[in-house]
Chain A
């Protein structure tokens, strides 16, 4: 296991590459989810407000 983590002495170059890749991949999935949720919440709020005004 330690041999594996050591990457033949190249651990400080190999692991940052993989970690950076994972961070970038996850960020690109999360960002559009947040963006869409925000838009849906905004629209829902407007609809509720419009309904309350009608009453």
Chain B
């Protein structure tokens, strides 16, 4: 049954319809978790004993930074599948993920800057964590630019997939940058092989926001993929038939 599901998902028309049904579920659960996360993050969690209320930036900054890496890995895996099996849907997932990934990377950098100013006294420092995250943004932007520069979208997808795969070396560098180098950025508090060193009252909003961002990505990547697929398949029978039904 699972095999048949993946087989059917390879069909553009089937994917388009199923994705259309999945989006509202992702959106609704995203909104519920987001509101819960915002409630705990802004109202029902204590100020940090050192950083006071500026710690609330963390509930945006950390989930956004996690997403920037998570989406990159999803994109690279889609790229690998595209290169090996030439599946159109995964090709579309690569470029659809790139725009959302770039957005989260930018958000992580911008909120980091807004947090860095009051805590470190500088908007930006060239430490390993910040620099490697900036490289991640350039990788995303490079992928978007490369994709739009190549006319033939099948060729573009292959070029972009290769770039995504090469860039994946940056992901462990970002994660371990705070351990390998002496950085101003603090080390991991949650994603480590030990108990999270954070109080539960702060961990709850952080994890709620992180999960809501994952669901958001699910919704948005499917929306993008549908839009992209429609554009690419605009001259195929399934698209023409579908639009024709609505044209009076």
Contacts and interface: CB of A to CB of B under 8 A. Distances in A.
Query: Chain B interface mostly helix, strand, loop or mixed?
Result: helix
Contacts of A21: 60, 64, 107, 111
Interface in A22-55: 24-25, 27-29, 31-33, 35-36, 39-40, 42-44, 47-48
Contacts, number: 94
Contact of A42 (B106, B115, B216, B234): B234
Contact of A43 (B47, B54, B110, B243): B243
Given A10-B52, A25-B216, A17 B114 contact: yes
Interface residues of B, number: 40
Contacts of A39: 227, 230-231, 234
Interface of B: 42-43, 47, 52-54, 56-57, 60-61, 64, 99-100, 103-104, 106-107, 110-111, 114-115, 117-118, 216, 219-220, 223-224, 226-228, 230-231, 234, 239-240, 243-244, 246-247
User: Which 8 pairs from chain A and chain B are nearest by CB?
Assistant: A8-B53, A36-B227, A32-B223, A10-B54, A35-B227, A7-B53, A17-B111, A8-B52
